[in-house]
Amino acid sequence: MTENKEKIVSTETIDIVEAVDLNAPALYFNRELSLLEFNDRVLAQAKNEDLPLLERLNYLCISCSNLDEFYEVRVASVIQLATIDPFAKMCDGLNTQEQLEAIAPKAHDLVNEQYRVLNELLIPQLAEQNIRFIRRDDWTDRQKQWIETFFREELSPILTPVGLDSAHPFPRILNKSLNFIISLTGKDAFGRNSGRAILQAPRALPRIIQLPSEETGGGEYDFVFLSSIIHAFVDDLFNGMSIKCCHQFRVTRNSDLFVDDDAIDDLLDAVEGELAMRNYGDEVRLEIDANCSPETIAFLAARFGISDGQVFLVNGPVNLSRVQEIYGLVDRPDLKFVPYKPSVPSALARSKNYFEVIKKQDILLHHPYESFAPVVEFIRQASQDPDVLAIKQTLYRTSTDSPIVGALLKAARAGKEVTVVIELRARFDEKANITLAAKLQDAAVHVVYGVVGYKTHAKMCLVIRKEGKQFRDYVHLGTGNYHPKTAQFYTDYGLFSSNKELGEDVRKIFIQLTSLGKVTKLNKLLQSPFTLHKGLLDKIEREIDFAKKGKPSKIIIKVNSVVEEQLIQALYRASQAGVEVKLIVRGICSLRPGIEGVSENIEVRSIIGRFLEHARVYMFENGGNPEVYAASADIMNRNMFRRVEACFPIEHKALKARVLADLELYLKDNSGSWIMQSDGSYVQSMPEGEVCQVQALLMEQFSAK
């Protein structure tokens, strides 16, 4: 792992280090533009012909849903800030207006490429596999007859067009809903002729309709878009009028909830109140059929207060992410990834009593290569074990039908003390978490919502068990959510331990979350918002000191985002001191690598593969005695200062070696990795000789087990 080479820093180098202003905007890349770069990398997977065809379609849809969230949250926040302080600058020196001006062309290029990939690559290649999207001009008589019947019996009764006039104002348009603007001529039964109408497609309707082969004479996988059906028969909704044109459009709105922490009496009520308004936030983007007339586009843009840079003309369905429905409708295993069956550590697979196993040794799980089932089983066993007195759990994202929730409910009904900290403000999961909170409370579970002003993002479970005359703490700490479904395609680490000091630390954090009191000193954990940021800074400074003394020094960090300025500056100082810094950053990275005199010793790579890279790992060489931590936190301001996070050490010798070996595989990846350039762009690694694809190697490694 470590090469014991002396690293001597000259006085001349130190002078250069001191002369560089690490606050200079040129040393930072804009976080919003970096996020768009990530979406480019996701979209590149849709163009990768080495991948199964339906998986490529999936990647296209993921890039589209990512862009939706980008506008709903990130662009919306920049627009909001622009109204408050248009001259506010980010660390990269761009003010809010300049950011919006820089975002627009890159976002438009991304959207244009998404539709090119769909229309020119995926649709023709799917057709070669007899998976066809039938255009209106290509409908056979039998298909048209079936579609017309479908429209009149299934669609028409629930469609409600609204003519625009003084008595029918422009309707409220739901966030990301499918809508049509229709131009008409002629007079209706009341002698009115407003010239325009709006038609909203109910959200319950599927956006893709599969044609029954036995009734239409087509293939097994023939599909038509809902928008095509409505276009074809929209005149049925306007009896006696003539349709000049009909165009689909979609509006994306600000979907970030605002909860005034200083004015909250009841967090649950506050979040529920905001949820009701999410679908009607401020408009941030307008997507519309590219064939729409300039006059109609201008009308809609003015109606929604949308600038030219926020208008997207699209050549296809306005919501590409809904095309993902095809993946579930088409039973073609040959066009999908080969199913992967995760393994279970042998120590757990052989045991019916997890507590006896964990008492003897720490257990590390690496999802999804290793199953999430042991986490569920751990909580299930705790719910049934008569020696277990209490279970404490954080829940950030999960599902109401989760077996974990079921186990917690059984534990409470069995008379055990069960406490659950639910984060109501987990973005886009707020409604599910409110439902979950009510379900748990009905079973007499102690439910709290964390701390006002700080999201509880730590992934922790504590089981308190009476063994003889003593109490023993068993903990599970993770980098990902307690969500059995996402654990199948998110890479994360989870640690089981009965270490006394770890147990004490987790208990202290739960007391913070459920009670009142001062910060108490922790034994092993680093915790946001109190000790994690400073702890990481101290460990980076220690590596700098080792480098200056000629001792082994190295930093490897694997996270989802790198944004926080003080930690970036500390990494710059480490690079200047000669510390080798390797960053594996899936998404946003505001740090610029490869700048002479600042970051030439820093490499940034992003891994895009079958699974979503989600694990957070921090490795410090520590003079030849490496320290390894896993965490729920990324290097972002929110994770360091506005969230409750847990960063836990991997201390067991064999488990630490496993994580170090995993990190080395990530650094050797020459197939799924993208290397960040100093201008913020990324270049995909190309294998020279033997191919190394970390996710494939890990699947093979754990399958063998």
Q: Annotated active-site positions, please?
A: 457
Quickly list H helices, 234-350: 267-275, 294-304, 325-329, 346-349
Bridge partners, 589 (sequence order): 562
The answer to whether 395 touches 480, Cβ cutoff 8 Å, is no
DSSP state of 117: I
The answer to whether 365 touches 345, Cβ cutoff 8 Å, is yes
**Exposure string over 178-188, b if 16+ CB within 10 A, otherwise e:** bbbbbbbeeee
Residue type, 659: V
Q: How far apart are CA 291 and CA 371, in angstroms?
A: 49
Q: How far apart are CA 659 and CA 648, in angstroms?
A: 13
The answer to whether 507 touches 513, Cβ cutoff 8 Å, is no
Element (H, E) at 671: none
The answer to whether 398 touches 482, Cβ cutoff 8 Å, is yes
Cα–Cα separations (whole angstroms), residue 446 to 409, 423, 441, 442, 450: 11, 14, 7, 10, 12
- What angle (nearest 5°) sits at the alpha carbon of residue 316, between those of residues 315 and 321? 125
SS (H, E, C) 455-482: EECCEEEEEEEEECCEEEEEEEEECCCC
Other C-beta atoms closer than 10 Å to the C-beta of 301 total 17
Other C-beta atoms closer than 10 Å to the C-beta of 71 total 23
Cα–Cα separations (whole angstroms), residue 415 to 271, 367, 391: 31, 32, 11
> 3-state DSSP call for residue 431?
helix
Q: How far apart are CA 466 and CA 417, in angstroms?
A: 13
Q: What are residue 522's phi and psi, to 5 degrees?
A: -100, 155
Bridge partners, 286 (sequence order): 251, 311
Element (H, E) at 540: helix 532-548
Cα–Cα separations (whole angstroms), residue 297 to 112, 289, 307: 18, 9, 11
The answer to whether 37 touches 63, Cβ cutoff 8 Å, is no
Other C-beta atoms closer than 10 Å to the C-beta of 49 total 8
Say which residue the tokens 């936030």 belong to: 281
The answer to whether 221 touches 132, Cβ cutoff 8 Å, is yes
Residue type, 447: V
